[in-house]
Amino acid sequence: MKKVSIIGAGNVGANAAFYIGEKNFADVMLVDVVEGRAKGKALDLMEAAPVRYYDARIEGTDDIADIAGSEVVVITAGHVRKPQMSRLDLLETNAKVIDPIIPQIKQHAPEATIINITEPVDALTCYIWKKGKFDPKKVVGMTGVLDTTRFREFISKELQVSTANTTAVVIGGHHDFMVIIPRYASVEGIPITQLLPQEKIDNLIKRTRAAGSEILSYLKTATAHYAPAAALAEIVEAIIKDSKRMLCVSACLQGEYDVKDLCLGVPAIIGAKGVEKVVELQLTIEERQQFEESVTVIKNAVDTLEI
């Protein structure tokens, strides 16, 4: 079975390991700097295997060298937001957390596709790519998959339909400047613009943008982890199975959407080679303006980092 390593055995990392294990498509190596944390959680997860019927092996370690042989390396390490904080407030702090991880991945798993979930996702995905001089196609940020699944849930609840019948597209950054395009959101192919009045669509968009903060306001000392972990597992599965899924991810753009050397959320074909193709949407003038605002926010954040 192929191997996936998850650096950071906190709530997102451990739940992602569980989702991957239950889908039985890869073995998982959980890595954490806190002695015993990854080993303890991995042991707990494996003791659930007989009743959850998975044969994938989940192991834990505090030695990052154990990521060797991984097809995919996920970075979930870093600090999480507190109430009233924005994602960008974590930029410098989490860049310092990721700094020593980058050369370790380069050394022990140089061929792996890297998926970053550490906030702020888009800026730090760009940081990882440039700092490590990785192939841009092999570095992915987990943004749009989470944002689209949240939007799809809210659409489903509003229209009282199955979430399985919903689709959505979210581009730009994973923050207040995400660009949610209603005409690309649908229920069984019917655009929500034909099913809902504009006022309700605007409310759904507003709630999607604030979804992470809404959860944080309830939890106080923790952020969302079940939905991010599930979204993460979706990307990992597409890579491991080479399934050519079209997913909204933070891709390292090389001229697409007239953006170069920056990572932003866009729809892309995801397979064994990572981001195999960026899909360029035809944007309206208003959508293009919103996207460019997002580009500016991420670029300014990246420019503050020393790369």
Number of H helices, E strands in the chain: 10, 14
The residues assigned a catalytic role are: 174
Mean of the pLDDT values across residues 192-211?
97
Judged by average pLDDT, the poorest of 73-82, 160-169, 221-230 is: 73-82
Percent of the chain having pLDDT more than 70?
Answer: 98
Give residue 80's pLDDT: 77
Residue 177 or residue 65, greater confidence: 65
Residue pair 172/267 in contact (Cβ under 8 Å)? The answer is: no
Mean residue pLDDT of the chain comes to 95
Span 47-95, pLDDT tens digits: 999 999 999 999 999 999 999 999 999 999 998 766 665 667 889 999 9
For residue 92 the two structure tokens come to: 């410098």
> Confidence class of residue 177 from pLDDT cuts 50, 70 and 90?
confident
What is the distance between the alpha carbons of residues 161 and 18, in angstroms, rounded to a whole number?
Answer: 28
Give residue 87's pLDDT: 65
What is the distance between the alpha carbons of residues 56 and 165, in angstroms, rounded to a whole number?
Answer: 30
Give residue 85's pLDDT: 57
> Confidence class of residue 174 from pLDDT cuts 50, 70 and 90?
confident
pTM of the model: 0.96
**Which residue, 249, 267, 65, 258, is CA-closest to 174?**
249
Percent of the chain having pLDDT more than 90?
Answer: 91
Mean of the pLDDT values across residues 5-17?
97
Note the helical H segments in 247-284: none
Give residue 86's pLDDT: 66
Span 98-150, pLDDT tens digits: 999 999 999 999 999 999 999 999 999 999 999 999 999 999 999 899 999 99
Domains within the chain, CATH numbers bracketed: 3-141 (3.40.50.720), 144-303 (3.90.110.10)
Residue pair 30/58 in contact (Cβ under 8 Å)? The answer is: yes
Give residue 79's pLDDT: 83
Give residue 175's pLDDT: 75
Mean of the pLDDT values across residues 245-254?
98
For residue 194 the two structure tokens come to: 């034909």
Distance (Å) of CA 228 to CA 50, 75, 111, 123: 25, 13, 25, 17
Give residue 209's pLDDT: 94
What is the distance between the alpha carbons of residues 77 and 119, in angstroms, rounded to a whole number?
Answer: 9
Span 250-264, pLDDT tens digits: 999 999 999 999 999
What is the distance between the alpha carbons of residues 207 and 229, in angstroms, rounded to a whole number?
Answer: 20
The pLDDT of residue 218 is above 60:
yes
